[in-house]
Amino acid sequence: MVITASSRAALRVLLLGSDQFTSIHLLRLFEMFQVGRLARLELMTAGPSQCPARRLATQLSLPVHAWQPTGFQFDQFDIGVVASFGRFIPASVLHQWPLGAINVHPSLLPRWRGSAPILYTILAGDAFTGVSITEVSASGFDKGGVLLQRRLELAGDETAPMLVDRLAGLGCDCLEATLDDLPAARRAAVSQADLPYARSLAKRPDPTFAHLDWSRMSAGQVDRTVRAVGHAWPLRCRIEFGGTRHGRREAPVTLAGHRRVNLGQASELPGQIRVDLDSGLMLIGCSDGGWAGFTSLTRAGKPKLTASEMRNGYLASRGSWARLIGLPNGYFSAPAREPVTLAKNDNAEVSYSS
């Protein structure tokens, strides 16, 4: 008898993950479970008690388990599905699943292995990204063979939350196709060493990724920083100011309300401040002579200032002046940090499923 995807026994699936990316995949798997395409579906999370995936699983009346590599009967399930889990899964766990485990990774591996591929995709200015379905390997994170890979073109204005949703939608389609015919997907699997994308690492970011280093960052890099991490951490730098009545002073500030601007006139110095009342923007000079616009600035311990309030405050008196001083950025300030960007004509889409 020929075994087709529709006649195979429905799988018992344990999904491992915690965040919004996980939640979108959980919802797709739940839809498959409801119509009998999965025999069992439960969630295991390593996140906080109120993480998005746990909340959704509770709403769907699905069992939820806390991550414990020992003492849990993983062999109750046929396969593990990993989607933004963030924990290493040892061989002792992988061997308990009859069908092993697969991972939904939001990048075109081996580019951007690691915990934050979406952020790094934006920071690097990649023109496209994608999703990879891989085998979970006991040898390390994101090193397994690739069962399926799909490419996603980028417009260049995506924020990290927007890209999470887009890649999760693509990931759901890839995951569903893989589970529907897992044997065929595994027969077509390829090693990451045979893929056309250069290996790069997406290590866990920290709040310094939201620092603005005006003397080293171009206007485009400021824009990418805002889109990648502006939702997670405040955009920080320092303000230096003074005047004829007071000496030079300095204080930490945060900026908000970023806007792209194109003045046609180059800035004179990085950190230079110009106020444009028509647009309501504070225009900050960048390392490439470009400008980055912001609607507000907040000095530590002081009220938030709009562009007009900035003009009437720091820049109001004759002889008064102010400029912004950069703080080292965790991504752009490191020497030779920025990798080659994936351009739109780099490599055709590669698919490994039959």
Same domain, 227 and 174: no
The boundaries of the domain holding residue 194 are 11-202
| C-alpha radius of gyration, the chain, whole number | 24
pLDDT of residue 48: 81
Residue 160 CA from chain centroid, whole number: 5
Read off the pLDDT of residues 244-302 as tens digits, 9 standing for 90 and up. 566 788 999 999 999 999 887 888 899 999 999 999 999 999 999 999 999 999 998 99
Shared domain check, 287 and 138: no
Give residues with Cβ within 8 angstroms of 147, minimum separation 6. 102, 133, 134, 135, 178, 185, 186, 188, 189, 352, 353
Residue 348 forms part of a structural domain: no
Query: For position 335, what pLDDT does the model report?
Result: 60
DSSP structure string for 165-216: HHHHHHHHHHHHHHHHTHHHHHHT-B-GGGSSSPP-EEPPP-GGGGB--TTT
Whole-prediction pTM value? 0.91
Closest listed residue to residue 116, CA positions, set 255, 233, 257: 233
**CATH number for the domain including 295?**
3.10.25.10
Please determine, for residue 106, whether its predicted confidence score (pLDDT) is greater than 60.
Answer: yes
Q: How far is CA 232 from the centre of its chain?
A: 10
Are 109 and 142 in contact by the 8 Å Cβ rule? The answer is yes
pLDDT classification of 348: cutoffs 50, 70, 90: very low
CATH of the domain at 103: 3.40.50.170
Are both 250 and 174 inside the same structural domain? no
Structure tokens at 338: 């920025």
Please state, as a whole number, how many other Cβ atoms lie within 10 Å of the Cβ of residue 352.
19
Residue after which a domain boundary falls, among 187, 202, 217: 202
Do both 81 and 47 map to the same domain? yes
Q: How many domains does the chain have?
A: 2
Judge if 170 and 214 occupy the same domain. no
3-state SS assignment for residue 101 = strand
Overall average pLDDT of the 203-220 stretch: 97
- Does 224 lie in the same domain as 196? no
55 & 166 share domain: yes
In a domain, 281, yes or no: yes
Q: Which residue has the higher pLDDT, 349 or 69?
A: 69
Range with lowest mean pLDDT among 64-78, 147-161, 298-312:
298-312
Residues 148 and 215 in one domain: no
Q: Is 2 contained in some domain? A: no
Q: What is the mean pLDDT of residues 116-141?
A: 96
Core vs surface per residue 132-166: b (16+ CB within 10 A) or e: bbbbbbbeebbbbbbbbbbbbebeeebebeebbeb
Q: Are 19 and 53 in contact (CB under 8 A)?
A: yes
Contact between residue 195 and residue 107 where contact means Cβ atoms under 8 Å apart: no
Least confident of 17-21, 142-146, 244-248: 244-248
- Residue 18, pLDDT > 90, answer yes
Q: Are residues 189 and 215 in the same domain?
A: no
Q: pLDDT band at 4, cuts 50/70/90?
A: very low
**pLDDT for residue 314 is more than 80:** no
Q: What is the model's pLDDT at position 284?
A: 97
